[in-house]
Chains A and B, each alone.
Chain A
Amino acid sequence: MILRLAIASLFARALTVGMTILAIALSVALFLGVEKIRTGAKASFADTISGTDLIVGARSGSVQLLLYSVFRIGNATNNVTWQSYQDIAARSEVDWIVPISLGDSHRQFRVMGTSVAFFEHYKYRQGRSLEVANGAILSDLFDTVIGADVAAVLGYEIGDPIIVAHGLASFAEHKDQPFRVSGILKKTGTPIDRTVIVSMEAIEAIHVDWQGGAQVQGQATPADELRQMELTPKAVTAALVGVKSPLQIFRLQRAINDYGQEPLLAILPGVALQELWGIVGIAETALLGVSFMVVVTALIGMMATIFSSLNERRREMAIFRAMGARPATILSMLVLEAVVMAALGALLGLGLLYLGLFIGQPILDREFGLWLVIDPPSLREGWVMLAVIAAGAIVSLVPAIRAYRLSVADGMVVKT
């Protein structure tokens, strides 16, 4: 009956109580949301590359190499010569090697030159392979396979022409060598979705008539002639390497890092990712700290709401006292109200979080290439909600003790 009366009392102050619950709900949604995006982003990053033992590039930072080669974030400071690539490929430890050439773009999407082997060896999300939704992978020199987002955003279909721009932010286009969409990949939730894939030879072909970042005046080699040319790449941006035995990974890594012909860097994707988390860890902690403070602020707001209602509720408390309620009962009623408010706030917050996730999932994917997996609430979220409810009860003790003292002082004499 006391619980029912406490709930009825809350309903009687529906507007104030509703605003308090909403504040708690928003803070809980924010706190859980930050955590969800944090873990989701980590999972999304970690799922982007799988089954690749080493990534090789020109010597720079390991995080930088990981970011530009896998996530298309930033640029390489240098290339790896084709000779070096060949030397690595020829090593006995190497099971497979896939070249990557980055530098050109199409609209807002990066163009990546690679070999057909990329479609065989690139794995994501615990070993999944790329799948073609429509068409086929590269067969002609000017074929291109596009990611699901490229197709969706630009409305491309099989057979549509694509003009590649020189560089990333250039108005110079390889108009004389248009590509044709030969295949559209299924959605992967990785940067591949936002990539235009062409062959390494095609990258060479479109630059045959170019020097110093511009097309040589009056020079335009016909496409058919290009198809007959020897188009061995001069350099690659990076290479993905698979090793025959896991025991050989570190030996190969050391050999590449000690390669004498040019300064190279070989990284283990998982280790580089950990390094990346270490760098962003401070920002993560700060973000979590801020969202935690928002929860604390909401709970203090609830305490203020209960406090401000005490004076007008002295009549109600006096009625309870006159009917035989102990001051401790008054205290427990206020704590109970706070627990109900905090619990409703936490539940509503969880609901808002999932609503936000369902609405935000495609937006995050489209805008940031971040694919958040929407799982059912985890045990950790349950603990967070329980902690919020417990904190609500603890915070409410401050006005509840005040109410306790008021009820002792007022007794059954009604104060208004």
Chain B
Amino acid sequence: MTGAVLNLSDVAFGWAGRFSLRVVDLRVAKGESVLLLGESGSGKSTLLSLICGTIVPDSGRIEIAGQDITELSASKRDKFRAEQIGVIFQQFNLLPFGTVADNIMLPLRFAPARNKQAGDALAKATELCRALGLPDGVTNIKATALSVGQQQRVAVARALIGRPPLIIADEPTSALDANSQAAFLDLLFAQVHSNETSLLMVSHDPRLGARFDRVIDMQDIAHVERGAA
């Protein structure tokens, strides 16, 4: 592991006096997989939004691939996110009205550099589907017509297309049984390792820790305060 893909230090974020989050330090190295453990209300979602740049901290630095995103304008942060971060949601959250190809290629629409890197987007989406064990011709099918397991794979393909340096996964296994969890993580790690992508996954399940290079407890790096407005 060389260099830090994610380097977050002394970040503070407050919302209308009702909620504040302070994160002292969080680093993810290139190719490293990190599990961030935390209970509900521990500030995990807010931290992910900060890393993705959809909200801006009041103070502190958030460096991704060497760029402090707090210095970027809102539109540049959005573009940066599209190019540098792949996101996997809790329930995969595929666009129900889009085809598999639409869903996988969606990030490329907002990321010119990632799009260029992907080359022929449809060919790349098809290649990813094949690598993830999805059947031939699946790209033209509505995403919601797939089984849950197949939707997981589409979500992974969407995060991986264009090879972003950082993948963020927001409790993607929370709704899965043990067997499905294992299958999903096998799939995810196989792709992450082959692409040398860094992975930051948020979960409240400590049993997943064994699969990751490092496990961080939110309580050790972050402090949350709640109060009346």
Q: A interface vs B, CB < 8 Å?
A: 1-2, 4-5, 8-9, 11-12, 315-316, 318-329, 408, 410-414
In the docked arrangement, what's the CA distance between A108 and B81, Å?
79
What residues of chain B lie closer than 8 Å to A5, measured between beta carbons?
95, 97-98, 102
The chain B residue with its CB closest to the CB of A408 is B54
Task: Indicate if the CB atoms of B48 and A412 lie closer than 8 Å.
Answer: yes
Task: Indicate if the CB atoms of B83 and A324 lie closer than 8 Å.
Answer: yes
Task: Indicate if the CB atoms of A321 and B97 lie closer than 8 Å.
Answer: no
Given known contacts A323-B109, A325-B110, A414 and B74 CB-to-CB distance under 8 angstroms: no
Determine, out of B4-12, B86-94, B124-132, B204-212, the stretch whose residues face the partner at the interface: B86-94
What residues of chain A lie closer than 8 Å to B48, measured between beta carbons?
412-413
Q: Is B174 an interface residue (CB 8 A)?
A: no
What residues of chain B lie closer than 8 Å to A2, measured between beta carbons?
109
Q: Map CB proximity to A onto B84-116 as digits: 1 under 8 Å, 0 otherwise.
A: 000101110111111000100111011100000
In the docked arrangement, what's the CA distance between A5 and B143, Å?
13
In the docked arrangement, what's the CA distance between A326 and B82, Å?
10
What residues of chain A lie closer than 8 Å to B78, measured between beta carbons?
321, 324-326
In the docked arrangement, what's the CA distance between A318 and B54, Å?
10
In the docked arrangement, what's the CA distance between A413 and B82, Å?
16
Task: Indicate if the CB atoms of B107 and A411 lie closer than 8 Å.
Answer: no
**Chain B interface size range:** 20 to 34
- Give chain A nearest CB distance to B149 CB in angstroms: 20
What residues of chain A lie closer than 8 Å to B45, measured between beta carbons?
413
Task: Indicate if the CB atoms of A8 and B54 lie closer than 8 Å.
Answer: no
- Give chain B nearest CB distance to A339 CB in angstroms: 18
What residues of chain A lie closer than 8 Å to B61, measured between beta carbons?
none
Task: Indicate if the CB atoms of A324 and B79 lie closer than 8 Å.
Answer: yes
Q: Kindly identify which residue among A1, A315, A318 contacts B102, using a CB–CB cutoff of 8 Å.
A: A1
Task: Indicate if the CB atoms of A329 and B110 lie closer than 8 Å.
Answer: yes
Q: Would you list the 5 A-B pairs with minimal beta carbon distance, nearest first?
A: A324-B82, A411-B54, A324-B110, A12-B97, A411-B49
The chain B residue with its CB closest to the CB of A329 is B110
The chain A residue with its CB closest to the CB of B99 is A8
Q: Is B188 an interface residue (CB 8 A)?
A: no
Task: Indicate if the CB atoms of A414 and B90 lie closer than 8 Å.
Answer: yes
Task: Indicate if the CB atoms of A326 and B74 lie closer than 8 Å.
Answer: yes
Task: Indicate if the CB atoms of A414 and B97 lie closer than 8 Å.
Answer: no
New contact pairs (5) apart from A320-B106, A324-B82, A324-B110, CB-CB < 8 Å: A11-B97, A12-B96, A323-B106, A328-B75, A413-B54
Q: Is B52 an interface residue (CB 8 A)?
A: yes
Residue of A11, A12, A319 with highest tally of chain B CB at under 10 A: A319
What residues of chain B lie closer than 8 Å to A411, measured between beta carbons?
49, 52, 54-55
